[in-house]
Amino acid sequence: MDETRTNRGAWRRSPILPRAMAAPRAPTMSAGPAWAEDRPEERRVPEQMAASGGSDYAPGFDLSPGDDVVEVAGAKVRMGGCLCGAVRYEVHGEPMMVGLCHCEDCRKATGGNALYYADWPVSAVRMEGALATYSGRSFCPDCGSRVAHFSAHHTEVMLGTLDDPPTDLVPRREIWTVRREPWALPIPGAEQFDRDPV
């Protein structure tokens, strides 16, 4: 198997060009992934990424997992992806909202007691790889990892898919607390909503 883990649990980067030596990314961002016209259930890599061999980053830029919080032109960039690595993404800057949802749908979709998520502007998210979609939830069709939810105004990223946890992103909002497990305490300082906020 080509993929090996270091003692920190992070996947090794390409030996061709270490991330620290990679050319800086272009300062402009794409408008995020575009919906495939012929297969709306599948989100495809944007045209400019496909034309450059699957990436709109500088030549040699590596989206494989590793120490994945970097600074680009003063903005924090976080990286992540699905379990099998077929879907990779990066998010630029700070999220508009970080939350935790305890609703039944989120519990079933994640297989956990809550969904840990953050919303970024569509223009701040870049993805590589195809995603399948069920009921608005996008996931890797190969391994099943739920990665994101896309809307016209923002992209909701499942924070459990970020590389190198733990993360510095603390939920500021906790919703559907009527379904929170009794052993799970409210997050200090986070807004609490019994159901969806109005």
pLDDT in tens, 3-43: 433 333 333 333 332 333 233 332 223 334 333 333 333 33
**Model confidence pLDDT, tens digit, residues 173-198:** 999 999 999 999 999 999 999 999 88
Quick check: is 159 in a domain? Answer: yes
Beta bridge partners of 72: 75
- Does residue 17 lie within any of the structural domains? no
Whether cis (ω within 30° of 0) applies to the bond prior to 166 is yes
Q: Each residue of 108-123: pLDDT tens digit?
A: 999 999 999 999 999 9
* Number of compact structural domains in the chain: 1
- What would the two tokens of residue 129 be? 């790889």
**184 lies in a domain?**
yes
pTM for the full predicted model: 0.64
Note the pLDDT of residue 30: 35
d(CA 193, CA 102): 10
Is 150 inside any structural domain?
yes
Domain holding 140, by residue range, is: 35-192
* CATH number of the domain bearing residue 88: 2.170.150.70
Confirm whether 23 is domain-assigned. no
Residue 24 belongs to a domain:
no
16 located within any domain:
no
Q: Is 130 contained in some domain?
A: yes
Q: Can you give the three-state secondary structure of the chain, one letter per residue?
A: CCCCECCCCCECCCCCCCHHHCCCCCCCCCCCCEECCCCCCEEECCHHHHHCCCCCCCCCCCCCCCCCEEEECCEEEEEEECCCCCCEEEEECCCCEEEEECCHHHHHHHCCCCEEEEEEEHHHEEEECCEEEECCEEECCCCCCEEEEECCCEEEEEHHHECCCCCCCCCCEEECHHHCCCCCCCCCCCEECCCCCC
Adjacent-strand bridge partners of 118: 98, 157
